[in-house]
Amino acid sequence: MNKYKEIANIIFPNINQTVNDLEIKYPPRDLSEDAIVTRFAPSPTGFLHTGSLFTSLVSWRFAKQTNGVFFLRLEDTDQKREIKGSGDKVIEQLIKFNINPDESFLNEGNYGPYIQSERKLIYHTVIKEMIENGMAYPCFCTHEELNDIRKEQEEKKDLPGYYHEYAKCRYFSDDEVIEKLNNKEDFVIRFKSQGKNDEKVVLNDAIRGDIEFPKNIQDIVIMKSDGLPTYHFAHVVDDHFMRTTHVTRGEEWMPSAPIHLEIFEQLNWKKPVFCHFPVIMKMDGDKKRKLSKRKDDEASVDFFLEKGYPIEGFLEYLMTLANSNFEEWRLNNSKSNIFDFNLDFSKMSLDGALFDIEKVKSICKEVLGNMDKDTFTNNALQYAKEFNIDLFNLIKKDENYFKEIINIEREQEKPRKDYEKYSDILPIINFMYDDYFSDMKFNVEYDERFSKDLLIEILSDYKQVFDINKSQEEWFSDMREMAINKGFAKRPKDYKKNPDEYIGHIGDFAEILRLATCAKSSTPNFYDVLRILGQNKVKNRLNEAIELLKK
Ligand code: GLU
């Protein structure tokens, strides 16, 4: 009789529960048959990568659109690489994008713990039973021994790894193993692969279809010497007992899928559906490469949060990367919630999705332009509170005044699209506030074509006729009349045709007034700007401009 049970007991003397107990503790979820259970499984090794946000967005949508469950599991078994606090930060960032896991270490469901390092008991229970059944064994190889194996394989030009005849510890007798354990020799636990050379296995990927791989033959490590599992093993155990139906992960995991398939098979567990998402790429010159945290600001979602890109816009952009037919749907459903669109695995692109910052910008401009003033203001406040205290104070000083400003040509059929992100607000509207204008006015530079005397004359005369109580048409025709009287062309094209006949055109004239009253040559709709500033303030600013010109 083999002594697997004895070996298992020496290694795990305190494990009394069985795999069957776990099956009972974590029963299949009570969901409809087509409900999808997905997870986002970040390792706490840094902040949320744009690619991970993409993966979690898509995973979350698949769960939500089928009334399923989306949960977050923190994969912290590689404790050497762990950056303290980054697990909390990742979930915080996810929630900022309104992606709220149904279950996580912050809101535990029935399938926890949701942090791998707290799931040791579960892994050990499974491993103990695997040892008892001859599916796993302790390996005592030292670094030197493993190095020797590698060298031998290099010389013989054999496949590297721990397998078949190279898997030395697989061939120890039970008594030898027991002796080594009793002598407290260091060990890891390896999976006993049944794979043979030249056998094939097929991965049914929901995105990529059936893909044939050589079967796994490696006796991979499933438990490290610190008692923690490796990714390959933890993934199988967790996704089984957390009842994940669809494993949604980056395509970099595809080559190791044969390992996972074999573990699922040997344990006789139902395999989840695998969905290997495309990696997000970027053009670097004329070459495509992975979006890299080291090289690209836009690889970290922090970049978008700090700059204040609207969450809705950024998610909409990621939806365009997710499904090739999303944009067409959007054209026909521009007023709908983007999540009314049903994602489809078969419509996901297979090669790396190309990240296009210009497209992010244009979608965000569209989204911010279409936002009503109250939502815009609330979002801007929320952004400013965290990232831009000056903007926060400005808005808080007089929220209604702020709303009036940002509502210029908003809330209408074809809204104006001035803002691409919340950090644009301050530089665009600062001149509306005297605190800023009082400094800005000193830096105004008028077009050199116009003499100081002419400028003073124009501003003084304009001050007399300016009346903000008039309609925009009347206000404009007053301005045009004065411009014509002063020798400016009525239309830019008239000026272009006969530049010698005029001193400038209506646009030049308006620019003089704009510089005097706003200290800028371009602003949101000028009439609205003047209306919001009000009769007195405009006259004061004209006076101040005249004074400055006189100096
Ligand atoms: N912890 C793994 C990673 O961060 C998760 C892979 C998976 O989703 O299974 O890449």
- Segment 399-435, tens digit of pLDDT: 999 999 999 999 988 999 999 999 999 999 999 999 9
d(C-alpha 132, C-alpha 138), whole Å: 12
Q: What percent of the chain has pLDDT over 90?
A: 91
Position 273 scores a pLDDT of 97
Q: From the alpha carbon of 55, which atom of ligand 1 is closest?
A: 8
3-class DSSP assignment, residue 174? helix
Q: How many helices (H) and strands (E) does the chain have?
A: 24, 14
**Residues ≥6 apart with Cβ < 8 Å to 114:** 71, 72, 73, 74, 103, 104, 105, 108
Q: Which structure tokens are listed for 326?
A: 């999303």
| Chain position carrying tokens 């646009």 | 507
* Residue in 234, 190, 242, 341 with CA at minimum distance from that of residue 28: 242
Closest protein CA for atom 5 of ligand 1: 41
| Residue 1 confidence (pLDDT) above 60 | no
Q: CA separation (Å) from 329 to 154, 229, 320? A: 54, 44, 10
Q: Is 292 exposed, middle or buried (0-12, 13-18, 19+ CB in 10 A)?
A: exposed
The mean pLDDT value for 191-211 works out to 96
d(C-alpha 456, C-alpha 446), whole Å: 11
Q: Is the CB of 59 under 6 A from ligand 1?
A: no
3-class DSSP assignment, residue 284? strand
- The single-letter DSSP state of residue 431 is G
Q: 349: alpha, beta or left, given left = phi > 0 and alpha = psi -120 to 50?
A: beta
Give, in words, the CATH class of 6-10+124-277. Answer: alpha beta
d(C-alpha 515, C-alpha 549), whole Å: 12
Q: Which structure tokens are listed for 340?
A: 């009314």
User: Which of 40, 43, 76 to mutate to test ligand 1, by most ligand atoms within 8 A of the CB atom?
Assistant: 43
Position 79 scores a pLDDT of 83
| Residue 268 confidence (pLDDT) above 60 | yes
Average per-residue pLDDT for the chain: 95
Q: Is the CB of 42 under 6 A from ligand 1?
A: yes
C-alpha of residue 59 to centroid of ligand 1, in Å: 13
d(C-alpha 544, C-alpha 538), whole Å: 10
* Digit-coded pLDDT (tens) for 88-147: 999 999 999 999 999 999 999 999 999 999 999 999 999 999 999 999 999 999 999 999
Topology annotation, domain 438-550? Arc Repressor Mutant, subunit A (1.10.10)
Position 2 scores a pLDDT of 74
Q: What is the residue type of 307?
A: K
User: Which helix H or strand E contains 154, and what residues bound it?
Assistant: helix 143-156
Q: Which structure tokens are listed for 130?
A: 């695997």
Closest protein CA for atom 9 of ligand 1: 249
- DSSP H stretches of helix in 193-256: 231-241
Q: Which structure tokens are listed for 525?
A: 């709709």
| Residue 195 confidence (pLDDT) above 80 | yes
Position 85 scores a pLDDT of 86
Q: Is the CB of 235 under 6 A from ligand 1?
A: yes
Q: Is the CB of 236 under 6 A from ligand 1?
A: no
* Digit-coded pLDDT (tens) for 233-248: 999 999 999 999 999 9
Q: Strand ranges (DSSP E) for 291-396?
A: 353-354
| Chain position carrying tokens 């497209």 | 359
Q: Is the CB of 55 under 6 A from ligand 1?
A: no
| Residue 352 confidence (pLDDT) above 80 | no
C-alpha of residue 42 to centroid of ligand 1, in Å: 6
C-alpha of residue 94 to centroid of ligand 1, in Å: 16
* Digit-coded pLDDT (tens) for 295-318: 999 999 999 999 999 999 999 999
**Contact call for residues 422 and 514 (beta carbons, < 8 A):** no
Q: What percent of the chain has pLDDT over 70?
A: 100
pTM above the 0.85 mark?
yes
- The single-letter DSSP state of residue 445 is -
Q: CA separation (Å) from 80 to 146, 233, 237, 320? A: 21, 18, 22, 37
d(C-alpha 379, C-alpha 422), whole Å: 8
3-class DSSP assignment, residue 287? strand
**Contact call for residues 325 and 319 (beta carbons, < 8 A):** no
Q: What is the residue type of 22?
A: L
**Contact call for residues 162 and 190 (beta carbons, < 8 A):** yes
**Contact call for residues 269 and 60 (beta carbons, < 8 A):** no
Position 551 scores a pLDDT of 86
User: Per the omega criterion (within 30 degrees of 0), is the bond before 229 cis?
Assistant: no
* Residue in 530, 503, 524 with CA at minimum distance from that of residue 447: 503
| Residue 22 confidence (pLDDT) above 90 | yes
Torsion of CA 374, 379, 382, 387, to 10 degrees: -130
* Residue in 373, 506, 509, 366 with CA at minimum distance from that of residue 429: 373
Q: Is the dihedral of CA 534, 536, 541, 542 positive or negative?
A: positive
**Contact call for residues 293 and 336 (beta carbons, < 8 A):** no
Q: Is the CB of 41 under 6 A from ligand 1?
A: yes
d(C-alpha 348, C-alpha 277), whole Å: 8
Position 261 scores a pLDDT of 98
Q: From the alpha carbon of 75, which atom of ligand 1 is closest?
A: 1
Angle at 8 (CA atoms; ends 4, 12), nearest 5 degrees? 175
Task: Please check whether the two domains, 6-10+124-277 and 438-550, share a CATH topology.
Answer: no
The mean pLDDT value for 449-460 works out to 96
| Chain position carrying tokens 């609330």 | 378
Cα-atom radius of gyration of the chain, to the nearest Å? 33
Q: Is the CB of 43 under 6 A from ligand 1?
A: yes
Domain ranges of the chain: 6-10+124-277, 291-346+356-369, 373-429, 438-550
